[in-house]
C-alpha cells in the first residue's frame, strides 16, 4: 500500500505539471491611460533616458528593426530592447502575459483581424487616437493619412485605432509564366478559368501540380476569404453565422475541389508556408495566398522559379474579387508604465523613412508614399507584383476571419469546412460539416452578446 | 530555543523544501480546479463562477469525447509497441556479443534528442512528396501514403514517432530488471531441459512482469500527456484527427482563451492519469504478491 501511495503521488505530481500550462497568476498593472503630455510642441528628446521593451512576433521584420535601433536611440535618447518569438509562440504567450497584466513590455505586435475583438473586450489595447491627434506627441511629419483608408480601417477595432501596421498583407495569385505560356492560356481572371488552367498543366507523374492552398483549418481562412467574397458569401450576415449559406458552400466547394483535383498530396495538412515552398521548388503551377512571399520567390538562391513568377489579382466568381487587407502592427501594452515612450517608438518604426527602408528590403508597405517613392520605383524588380498589390487594395476588405471572438477559435471553426473540402468532402457531406460548424460559430456569436 | 530545534529538527530542516514542493503542487491543483468552476477569458473582469457548467459542457462535447478516444488509441498503440519492442531489445542487448556497448548507446540516441527537433525531422520524413518514408515505401512498390494528412493514418504515424523515441527507455528499465533476476530458476529450467522459448514464457516473463509493468506505467503516464510531437507534427490535424485531450485542453485554454473550460479538461486529464496509475499500481502489487 505504501508503495502504491508513493507511485500514485509521484504520478499525480508529474501529471499536474500539465496544469501549469493554463494557470496564470493575477498581478497589478499600472494601466496606460493615454498620452501624458498635452502641449503643442513635439520634441523627440522628451523621453530621453527611458528604456522600453518591444515584444513582437518575428514575422521577418525584427532584423531590419534591430538594424535601425541605434538611429532611434540617437534621435530620442530612448533605449530599446526587442524580444521576438515565432508567430505561434507569440500568439500563445501574449494573451497569457496580458492576462497577468505584465508591464515588462511596452510595445506589442498585434494583428487586429485575429486578436482585435478579443483584445478589445479584455481591455488589452491602448487607444492610439489620442496620441495621433495630440500635436505634442506626434511628429508633424508623421502623416497618418499616408496610410490608405482601407489600411487605416484594418488598424481599427470598435472605432478605436489600436495599432499602426508596419506591413500590408493582401491576397493574390502566384503562377508560373512558363507553364501558362506552354498551355497557350491567358492569365485567368475567374475561379472557373483557374480550374481549367490548373487542369491543363496538372501533371502529377512529373511532379507538377496544378494548384496549392493552405490546409490546416485555422490557417485556411486567409486564402479562403478571397473565395468566400468572390462567391458573394459572408462570414456573418444580419447578425447570424453564415458559413453554411449556398454562397459560402459554393466557395467551400471551389476551395476543396481546386485543392483535391490539382493539389500536391497531403494538401489538407499544409501549413501556411508550404504552398509557397512547393511553388519555389517548381512542383506547383499556381497558388493563392498573401503577398509576403515575393522576396523569397524571386531569390534564385531560394527559388527554382525565380524570374519566372507571374502575379495576378485574386479571381472573381459570381461576385467581384475582394481580397482581404490587413497585417501586423505595433500597439501599446495597456499595462505599460511607459506608454508615451512606446508611442515614440511606434511612430518612428512606422514612419515614412522606416517604411520605405523596409519596402526596399522587400516587405509590402502599408504607406502609399513608400510605393510611390522614386527610390522604390527605381529599385522595383517586380513592377507586375507592385501593380497587382496596389490594384488589390482598391477592392480589398479588411476582414479575413469571422468577426467573432475568440478569433482563433472562429478561424478554426470556419477553416475546418475548407479543410474537410481538401480531404475530399463535397455535396451533402460538406453541407453537413458546414451546418455543424455554423452552429458552433453561432454559439460563439451568442456568447458575445 | 536550541532544545526546540534539536527536538524538532526532522520537521524544521526540511520544512522550507516541503513548503516549496507543496506550493508547487498544491497551487496548480487548487487554481486549476478553482478555474474549472469558472468562465474566464483572461480580461480585466474577474473569473465568473459558473458552477458545474464546464463539467456538463464537457460531458456533452463530442470534441472532448473524440479527444479522449484519440488519446486512448494513441496511448494503447504507442505504449503497446514500445513494451513489445523494448522487451525484445532488452533481451537482445542482454546477450553478450561484440560491440554490445556501442549498440546499446546508439539505441538510446532517440531518447536523448529534443522532442520538438525530433518532431520537425519526422514531419519532413512524413512529407508525401519529398519525405524519405514514402520513398522507401514506393521503392518496394508501395503506394503514396499520406502519413499525417490521412485521418486514418495520422495516429499510427504519431505512435511510430513516440515508439521510436521511447522504446529505449522501456529497454533500459527491462535491461536493469533482467540483470537483477535470480539465476536459480534459469538453471533449474536448463536442468529440466526447457528450450529458449519455454524458458522465456515460463521463467523470464513471469519474473520480469513487475518490471515490465513499471516501464509500461512510466510510458503510459507520459504518453497520455504527449504534447510536443503532436503539436509540431500535426497540431491536431488533419481536421481534428490527432487532437488528443492534452492538445484540446491547450487549444481551449491558450488558443481560445477559455481558461475555465480548458482547466476542466485538464482536470479530466489528471483524473485519467490518476486512474491509469492506480490500475497499474494495483496490477503491479498483485504481480508482486503472485
pLDDT digits (tens, 9 = 90+) for A172-229: 999 999 999 999 999 999 999 999 999 999 999 998 999 999 999 999 999 999 999 9
Least confident of A28-37, A167-176, A224-233, B196-205: A28-37
Between CA B269 and CA A241 the distance in angstroms is: 32
User: Does residue A408 share a domain with residue A271?
Assistant: yes
DSSP letter, residue B257? -
Q: Give percent of chain B above pLDDT 90.
A: 56
User: Does residue A427 share a domain with residue A299?
Assistant: yes
Consecutive H or E run containing B39: strand B38-39
For cell 473540402, name the residue: A421
Decide if B253 and A21 are in contact by the 8 Å CB cutoff. Answer: yes
Nearest to B28 among A8, A23, A98 (CB): A23
User: Does residue A157 share a domain with residue A96?
Assistant: yes
ipTM: 0.79
Using a CB–CB cutoff of 8 Å, tell me whether A13 touches chain B. yes
Between CA A267 and CA A422 the distance in angstroms is: 7
Between CA B80 and CA B22 the distance in angstroms is: 34
Consecutive H or E run containing B270: helix B259-289
For cell 507520459, name the residue: B222
User: Does residue A438 share a domain with residue A298?
Assistant: yes
Backbone conformation region of residue B61, classed left if phi is above 0, alpha if psi is from -120 to 50, else beta: beta
Contacts of A340 (CB under 8 A, 6+ apart): A35, A36, A37, A46, A47, A137
For residue B31, the chain A residue with the least C-alpha distance is A23
Contacts of A124 in chain B (CB under 8 A): 43
Whether residue A38 is predicted with pLDDT greater than 90 in this model: the reply is: no
Between CA B70 and CA B194 the distance in angstroms is: 43
pLDDT value of residue A31: 59
Contacts of A4 in chain B (CB under 8 A): 278, 281-282, 285
Between CA A329 and CA A111 the distance in angstroms is: 6
CA B192 to each of CA B189, B195, B199, B207: distance values in angstroms, whole numbers, following the listed order: 5, 9, 10, 18
Q: Is B209 helix (H, G, I), strand (E, B) or coil?
A: helix
Mean pLDDT of chain A: 89
Structural domain includes residue A78: yes
For cell 479562403, name the residue: A224
Decide if A18 and B246 are in contact by the 8 Å CB cutoff. Answer: yes
Answer with the one of A386, A408, A438 that is the final residue of a domain.
A386
Contacts of A3 in chain B (CB under 8 A): 281, 285
CA A221 and chain centroid, separation: 11
Decide if A423 and B151 are in contact by the 8 Å CB cutoff. Answer: yes
Whether residue B290 is predicted with pLDDT greater than 80 in this model: the reply is: no
pLDDT value of residue B1: 66
User: Does residue A292 share a domain with residue A217?
Assistant: yes
Quick one: pLDDT band at residue A8, thresholds 50, 70, 90?
very low
Decide if B42 and A16 are in contact by the 8 Å CB cutoff. Answer: no
User: What torsion, rounded to 10 degrees, do the Cα atoms A146, A150, A154, A160 define?
Assistant: 70
For residue B39, the chain A residue with the least C-alpha distance is A447
Q: How far is B248 from chain A (nearest CA, A)?
A: 12
For residue B218, the chain A residue with the least C-alpha distance is A11
What average pLDDT does the segment B79-101 reach? 92
Between CA B126 and CA B212 the distance in angstroms is: 31
User: Does residue A218 share a domain with residue A157?
Assistant: no
Contacts of B62 in chain A (CB under 8 A): none
CA A407 and chain centroid, separation: 12
Q: How far is B227 from chain A (nearest CA, A)?
A: 10
Nearest to B29 among A11, A19, A123 (CB): A19
Structural domain includes residue A4: no
Question: Grid coordinates standing for B260?
Answer: 475555465
Whether residue B44 is predicted with pLDDT greater than 80 in this model: the reply is: no
Structural domain includes residue A392: no
Which CATH number characterizes residue A426's domain?
3.40.190.10
Between CA A424 and CA A370 the distance in angstroms is: 43
Quick one: pLDDT band at residue A86, thresholds 50, 70, 90?
confident
Quick one: pLDDT band at residue A58, thresholds 50, 70, 90?
confident
Between CA B187 and CA A12 the distance in angstroms is: 41
User: Does residue A185 share a domain with residue A277?
Assistant: yes
User: Does residue A60 share a domain with residue A71?
Assistant: yes
Quick one: pLDDT band at residue B183, thresholds 50, 70, 90?
confident
- Per-residue pLDDT of B2-34, as tens digits, reads 777 788 888 888 899 988 988 888 888 899 999
Quick one: pLDDT band at residue A32, thresholds 50, 70, 90?
low
User: Does residue A126 share a domain with residue A54?
Assistant: yes
Contacts of A278 in chain B (CB under 8 A): 129
- Per-residue pLDDT of B146-180, as tens digits, reads 999 889 999 999 999 999 999 999 999 999 999 98
Q: How far is B225 from chain A (nearest CA, A)?
A: 7
Question: Grid coordinates standing for A314?
Answer: 485574386
Structural domain includes residue A430: yes
Between CA B38 and CA B49 the distance in angstroms is: 4
DSSP string, B171-195: HHHHHHHHHTS-SHHHHHHHHTT--
Structural domain includes residue A257: yes
User: Does residue A291 share a domain with residue A333?
Assistant: no
Contacts of A430 (CB under 8 A, 6+ apart): A249, A252, A253, A256, A417, A420, A421
Q: How far is A30 from chain B (nearest CA, A)?
A: 13
User: Does residue A332 share a domain with residue A230?
Assistant: no
pLDDT value of residue A27: 36
Question: Grid coordinates standing for A41?
Answer: 510642441
- Per-residue pLDDT of B46-62, as tens digits, reads 889 999 999 999 999 99
Question: Grid coordinates standing for A184?
Answer: 497557350
Mutate to test the interface with B, among A4, A6, A7, A22 (most CBs of B within 10 A): A22
Decide if B285 and A91 are in contact by the 8 Å CB cutoff. Answer: no
Whether residue A16 is predicted with pLDDT greater than 50 in this model: the reply is: no
Using a CB–CB cutoff of 8 Å, tell me whether A383 touches chain B. no
Mutate to test the interface with B, among A220, A266, A282 (most CBs of B within 10 A): A266
Whether residue B101 is predicted with pLDDT greater than 90 in this model: the reply is: no
Structural domain includes residue A359: yes
Q: Is B223 helix (H, G, I), strand (E, B) or coil?
A: helix
Decide if A266 and B249 are in contact by the 8 Å CB cutoff. Answer: no
pLDDT value of residue A241: 97
Between CA A67 and CA A318 the distance in angstroms is: 47
Between CA A339 and CA A348 the distance in angstroms is: 14
What average pLDDT does the segment A346-354 reach? 94
The structural domain count of chain A equals: 2
- Per-residue pLDDT of A275-331, as tens digits, reads 999 999 999 999 999 999 998 999 999 999 999 999 999 999 999 999 999 999 999
Q: Is residue A401 within 8 Å of residue A410, measured between CB atoms?
A: yes
Q: How far is B277 from chain A (nearest CA, A)?
A: 6
Q: How would you write chain A as a 3-class SS string? A: CHHHHHHHHHHHHHHHHHHHHHCCCCCCCCCCCCCCCCCCCCCCCCCCCCEEEEEEECCCCHHHHHHHHHHHHHHHCCEEEEEEECHHHHHHHHHHHHHCCCCCCCEEEECHHHHHHHHHHHCCCCCCHHHHCCCCCCCCCCCHHHECHHHHHHCEECCEECCEECCCEEEEEEEEHHHHHHCCCCCCCEHHHHHHHHHHHCEHHHCEEEEECCCCHHHHHHHHHHHHHHCCCCCEECCEECCCCHHHHHHHHHHHHHHHHHCCCCHHHCCCCHHHHHHHCCCEEEEEEECCCHHHHCCCCCCCCCCCEEEECCCECCCCCCCEEECCEEEECCCCCCHHHHHHHHHHHCCHHHHHHHHHCCCCCCEHHHHHCHHHHHHCCCHHHHHHHHHHHHHCECCCCCCCCCHHHHHHHHHHHHHHHHCCCCHHHHHHHHHHHHHHHHHHHHHHC
Nearest to A22 among B227, B266, B282 (CB): B266
- Per-residue pLDDT of B224-263, as tens digits, reads 999 999 999 999 988 899 999 999 999 999 888 899 999 9
For cell 519566372, name the residue: A308
Q: What φ, ψ does residue B97 adopt, rounded to 5°?
A: -155, 155
List the domain range (segments joined by +) for residue A353: 36-168+326-386
Question: Grid coordinates standing for A43?
Answer: 520634441
Which residues 138-177 of A are in CB contact (within 8 Å) with B?
A: none
Q: Is the peptide bond before A406 cis (omega within 30 degrees of 0)?
A: yes
Answer with the one of A362, A386, A410 that is the final residue of a domain.
A386
User: Does residue A215 share a domain with residue A161?
Assistant: no
Contacts of B32 in chain A (CB under 8 A): 16, 19, 22-23
Residue B258 buriedness (CB in 10 A; 0-12 / 13-18 / 19+)? buried
Using a CB–CB cutoff of 8 Å, tell me whether A24 touches chain B. yes
Q: How many CB pairs under 8 A join A and B?
A: 161
Please give the angle made by the CA atoms of B122, A421 and B138, to the nearest 5 degrees.
Answer: 40
Nearest to A226 by CA among A252, A263, A264: A252
Q: Is residue B90 within 8 Å of residue B171, measured between CB atoms?
A: yes
Other C-beta atoms lying within 10 Å of the C-beta of residue B109: 10
Its sign, for the CA torsion B172, B173, B174, B176, is positive
Answer with the one of A386, A417, A436 that is the final residue of a domain.
A386
Residue A32 or B95, more confident:
B95
Quick one: pLDDT band at residue A4, thresholds 50, 70, 90?
very low
Amino acid at each position: 500500500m505504501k508503495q502504491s501511495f508513493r507511485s500514485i503521488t509521484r504520478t499525480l505530481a508529474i501529471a499536474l505539471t500539465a496544469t501549469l500550462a493554463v494557470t496564470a497568476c493575477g498581478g497589478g498593472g499600472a494601466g496606460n491611460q493615454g498620452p501624458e503630455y498635452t502641449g503643442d510642441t513635439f520634441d523627440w528628446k522628451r523621453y530621453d533616458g527611458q528604456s522600453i521593451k518591444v515584444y513582437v512576433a518575428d514575422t521577418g521584420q525584427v532584423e531590419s528593426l534591430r538594424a535601425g535601433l541605434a538611429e532611434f536611440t540617437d534621435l530620442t535618447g530612448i533605449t530599446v530592447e526587442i524580444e521576438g518569438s515565432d508567430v505561434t509562440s507569440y500568439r500563445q504567450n501574449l494573451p497569457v502575459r496580458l492576462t497577468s497584466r505584465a508591464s515588462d513590455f511596452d510595445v506589442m505586435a498585434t494583428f487586429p483581424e485575429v486578436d482585435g475583438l478579443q483584445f478589445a473586450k479584455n481591455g488589452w489595447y491602448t487607444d492610439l487616437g489620442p496620441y495621433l491627434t495630440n500635436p505634442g506627441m506626434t511628429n508633424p511629419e508623421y502623416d497618418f493619412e499616408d496610410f490608405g483608408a482601407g489600411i487605416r480601417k484594418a488598424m481599427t477595432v470598435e472605432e478605436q485605432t489600436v495599432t499602426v501596421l508596419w506591413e500590408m498583407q493582401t491576397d493574390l495569385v502566384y503562377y508560373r509564366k512558363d507553364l501558362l505560356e506552354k498551355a497557350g492560356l491567358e492569365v485567368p481572371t475567374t475561379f472557373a478559368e483557374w480550374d481549367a488552367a490548373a487542369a491543363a498543366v496538372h501533371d502529377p507523374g512529373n511532379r507538377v501540380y496544378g494548384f496549392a492552398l493552405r490546409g490546416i483549418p485555422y490557417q485556411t481562412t486567409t486564402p479562403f476569404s478571397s473565395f468566400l467574397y468572390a462567391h458573394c458569401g459572408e462570414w456573418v450576415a444580419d447578425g447570424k453565422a453564415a458559413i453554411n449559406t449556398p454562397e459560402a458552400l459554393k466557395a467551400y466547394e471551389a476551395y476543396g475541389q481546386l485543392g483535391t483535383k490539382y493539389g500536391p498530396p497531403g494538401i489538407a495538412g499544409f501549413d501556411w508556408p508550404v504552398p509557397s515552398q512547393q511553388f519555389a521548388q517548381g512542383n506547383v503551377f499556381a497558388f493563392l495566398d498573401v503577398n509576403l512571399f515575393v522576396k523569397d520567390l524571386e531569390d534564385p538562391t531560394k527559388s527554382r522559379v525565380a524570374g519566372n513568377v507571374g502575379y495576378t489579382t485574386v479571381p472573381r466568381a459570381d461576385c467581384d474579387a475582394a481580397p482581404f487587407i490587413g497585417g501586423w502592427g505595433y500597439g501599446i501594452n495597456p499595462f505599460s508604465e511607459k506608454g508615451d515612450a512606446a508611442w515614440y517608438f511606434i511612430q518612428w518604426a512606422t514612419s515614412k523613412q522606416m517604411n520605405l527602408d523596409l519596402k526596399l528590403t522587400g516587405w509590402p508597405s502599408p504607406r502609399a508614399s513608400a510605393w510611390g517613392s522614386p527610390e522604390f520605383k527605381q529599385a522595383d524588380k517586380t513592377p507586375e507584383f507592385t501593380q497587382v498589390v496596389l490594384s488589390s487594395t482598391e477592392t480589398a476588405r479588411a476582414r479575413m476571419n469571422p468577426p467573432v471572438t475568440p478569433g482563433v477559435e472562429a478561424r478554426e471553426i470556419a477553416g475546418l469546412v475548407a479543410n474537410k473540402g481538401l480531404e475530399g468532402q463535397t455535396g451533402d457531406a460538406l453541407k453537413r460539416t458546414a451546418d455543424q460548424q455554423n452552429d458552433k460559430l453561432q454559439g460563439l456569436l451568442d456568447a458575445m452578446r | 530555543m536550541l532544545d526546540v530545534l534539536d527536538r524538532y529538527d526532522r520537521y524544521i530542516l526540511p520544512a522550507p523544501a516541503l513548503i516549496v514542493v507543496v506550493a508547487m503542487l498544491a497551487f496548480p491543483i487548487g487554481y486549476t480546479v478553482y478555474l474549472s468552476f469558472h468562465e474566464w477569458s483572461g480580461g480585466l473582469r474577474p473569473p465568473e463562477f459558473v458552477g458545474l457548467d464546464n463539467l456538463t459542457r464537457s460531458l456533452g462535447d463530442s470534441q472532448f469525447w473524440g479527444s479522449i478516444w484519440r488519446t486512448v488509441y494513441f496511448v494503447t498503440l504507442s505504449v503497446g509497441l514500445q513494451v513489445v519492442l523494448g522487451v525484445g531489445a532488452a533481451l537482445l542487448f542482454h546477450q553478450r556479443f561484440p560491440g554490445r556497448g556501442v549498440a546499446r548507446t546508439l539505441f538510446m540516441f532517440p531518447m536523448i534528442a529534443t522532442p520538438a527537433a525530433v518532431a520537425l525531422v519526422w514531419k519532413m520524413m512524413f512529407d508525401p512528396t519529398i519525405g524519405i518514408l514514402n520513398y522507401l515505401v514506393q521503392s518496394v512498390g508501395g503506394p503514396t501514403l499520406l502519413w499525417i494528412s490521412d485521418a486514418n493514418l495520422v495516429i499510427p504515424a504519431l505512435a511510430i514517432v513516440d515508439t521510436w523515441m521511447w522504446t529505449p527507455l522501456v529497454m533500459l528499465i527491462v535491461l536493469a530488471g533482467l540483470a537483477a533476476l535470480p539465476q536459480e530458476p534459469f538453471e533449474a529450467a536448463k536442468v529440466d531441459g526447457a528450450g529458449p522459448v519455454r524458458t522465456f514464457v515460463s521463467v523470464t516473463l513471469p519474473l520480469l512482469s513487475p518490471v515490465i509493468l513499471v516501464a509500461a506505467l512510466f510510458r503510459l503516464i507520459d504518453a497520455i500527456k504527449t504534447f510536443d510531437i503532436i503539436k509540431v507534427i500535426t497540431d491536431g490535424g488533419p481536421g481534428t484527427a490527432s487532437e488528443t485531450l492534452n492538445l484540446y485542453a491547450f487549444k481551449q485554454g491558450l488558443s481560445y482563451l477559455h481558461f475555465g473550460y480548458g482547466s476542466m479538461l485538464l482536470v479530466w486529464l489528471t483524473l485519467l492519469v490518476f486512474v491509469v496509475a492506480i490500475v497499474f499500481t494495483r496490477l503491479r502489487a498483485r504481480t508482486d504478491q503472485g
